[in-house]
Chain A
Amino acid sequence: MSGVRVRCRSLTRGVAVGEALVSMQPFGFWGELDPHTGLVTDVHHEWYGRCVAGKILIFPYGRGSTGSGGVIVEAYRRGKAPAAIVNLKTDFILLSGPLSVEVFYGGRLPVVDRPEADIFSMVKNGCKVKVDGDRGFIEIP
């Protein structure tokens, strides 16, 4: 895969390729995503009814309760987690999920933030994207 590379800050390690799911709305996971199915359950969110499993989630930042990380870990354990997460700014509450996936389940869920270009105008829903958490970039075809 080759294309435009956008440098980002790497927060967790790992490399993932997948279909992008993009929203300008913040996303909070807890109460918004069912970790058993990977389906978005928040009726107010534009992803309502979509499945996040294996997707590259691109959204500006997390929101809401302290439960986001726990939902991500449970979704990972059940094979329903996103493949990677790209934010403008990632908070600890969200990052605690992918970090726990690494430490407790020996898995990889790359998270990058602070992209150096406007990814929201560059990446469309369904577009195949690569997230490289080891070297800190995302690659768009």
Chain B
Amino acid sequence: MYLTREEERILDGERGEAVDKAMELLVKLGDAYGAKHMVEVSSCHLVSCVYNVVYDSGLEIAEVFLKLGARFVVPTTLCTASIPLEDTEKFRFPDEWVEKQSKLCELYRAMGGLDNWTCIPYWNTNVPRYGEHIAWGESNCVSYANSIVGARTNRYASYIELCAAITGRIPMIDLHIPENRRGTILVKLKGLDASKMTAKDYGALGYAIGCVSAGGIPVIDGIPHTVSKKMLRVMGAAAASSGSVALYHVLGVTPEARSLEEALGGDKPEDRVEIGLEELRKAYLELSTAGDGVVDLVFIGCPHYSIDQIGVVVDMFRGRRVHPNVELWLATDNLTYTLACRMGYREVLERAGVKFMVGSCAMNAPTYTRGFNVMATDSAKTAHYAPMQARTDVFYGSLEECIEAAVEGRIPI
């Protein structure tokens, strides 16, 4: 791979050991995939700071980097932590997790990470621009930045994004290269009126898109240009979890798909699929492992809720309370939580029995240690991972159905 003089100096150790080590990993990555050169990134979003994906080795590596003098050279945000960062003790998670994630928080703050642990950095603290090269981790973040914004990143994790934050660079591979961003699978919506679809429908649609897109870049035809960013991010998060979709295009909606020709890069699609009511029904069936009966955990806020979504929950709870046998966790980031406090939302919701899960979520936290049996959630992504991660059965419902489940302690019929 071609290296600039500065990059060579870094590799020769002239800029210190930390940058040298970080550059070594990036060069190995670039060489493995035949990158021609590095590209400068304008921001990073890290997942290597999250205990449940890096374990004890993640702590060791961060400690080594800090000791060697690592410091982030571009704006760097941190993803959803493995313990709630406010009222931690209310969740009764094991001390070991609290200690280890707290230590990771300390190490990443010291390297210059922005202390707002969230999977929606694109909403407030790390907003990329069209065409920018960035090095981001976490599948919904990557999907949003690539697809809705048109920034350029691959799905990075396990210290690649960390090394990018320390060097300000990433090898020019895969989705950083314009030719590799063209759509390969044409997905037509059949018999679905997308303008009437709810968030629950968009989650199931995303799940179905992921299932047919393995390894490809879907171009979705049939979603009106009036669709909200919120619906798109729900769809993208679901497609990323069922099919590792790092980039999708929506015809006439997302920035690299103003026309079919642009979306496909002038080529014919490698594959064409139709998604209709039947496919959505199948997605609903696969996403819910529990059809009826008692619920003991309700989880909302995946991806992290924005302030207006919390406002909707407040309206739903007027005069109602969470059932005594149920816990309801609402996940959001620290900034949004501060706003929820200022607007009086926290008071209303906490009085109704809701627990704010600040800077964390039910999938990254050790929810399994609490021994819940059935979780209800309004997130297709959480529904997909819950049986494995939280070791619960799961009911995938609309927000209304989830609140109903929390209040009644049962899956609504």
The answer on a CB contact under 8 Å between A31 and B388 is: yes
Contacts A66-B156, A67-B47, A73-B57 aside, 7 further interface pairs with beta carbons under 8 A come to: A31-B385, A66-B157, A70-B53, A70-B54, A70-B58, A72-B158, A100-B25
Given the complex, which residues of A lie within 8 Å of B77, measured CB to CB? none
Given the complex, which residues of A lie within 8 Å of B174, measured CB to CB? 92
The answer on a CB contact under 8 Å between A96 and B54 is: no
Given the complex, which residues of A lie within 8 Å of B47, measured CB to CB? 66-67
Given the complex, which residues of A lie within 8 Å of B56, measured CB to CB? 74, 77
Given the complex, which residues of B lie within 8 Å of A42, measured CB to CB? 388
Report the bound CA distance from A71 to B155 in whole Å: 16
* In the complex with contacts A31-B388, A92-B29, A99-B25, A65-B53 CB distance below 8 A: yes
CB 8 Å contact bits of A89-122 with B (1 = contact, 0 = none): 1011101110110111100000000000000000
B residues near A (Cβ < 8 Å) are 21, 24-25, 28-29, 32-33, 47-48, 52-58, 60-61, 64, 137-139, 154-160, 173-174, 215, 241, 244, 385, 388-389
Report the bound CA distance from A71 to B173 in whole Å: 23
Main secondary structure of the interface of B (DSSP, over half): helix
CB A104 to nearest CB in B, in angstroms, measures 5
Residue B158 contacts which of A11, A89, A97, A102 (CB distance < 8 angstroms)?
A97
Closest to B64 in A: A104
Number of residues on chain A facing chain B (CB within 8 A): 36
Given the complex, which residues of B lie within 8 Å of A93, measured CB to CB? 155-158
Supply 5 A–B pairs (Cβ within 8 Å), ascending by A.
A63-B244, A66-B137, A69-B157, A70-B55, A104-B21
Report the bound CA distance from A99 to B48 in whole Å: 14
Task: Output the residue of B54, B158, B159 with the most chain A CB within 10 A.
Answer: B158
CB 8 Å contact bits of A15-39 with B (1 = contact, 0 = none): 0000000000000001110010000
Assess whether A87 is interfacial by the CB under 8 Å rule. no
CB B311 to nearest CB in A, in angstroms, measures 31
Report the bound CA distance from A92 to B153 in whole Å: 12
The answer on a CB contact under 8 Å between A96 and B160 is: yes
Report the bound CA distance from A63 to B66 in whole Å: 31
The answer on a CB contact under 8 Å between B155 and A92 is: yes
Report the bound CA distance from A31 to B244 in whole Å: 15
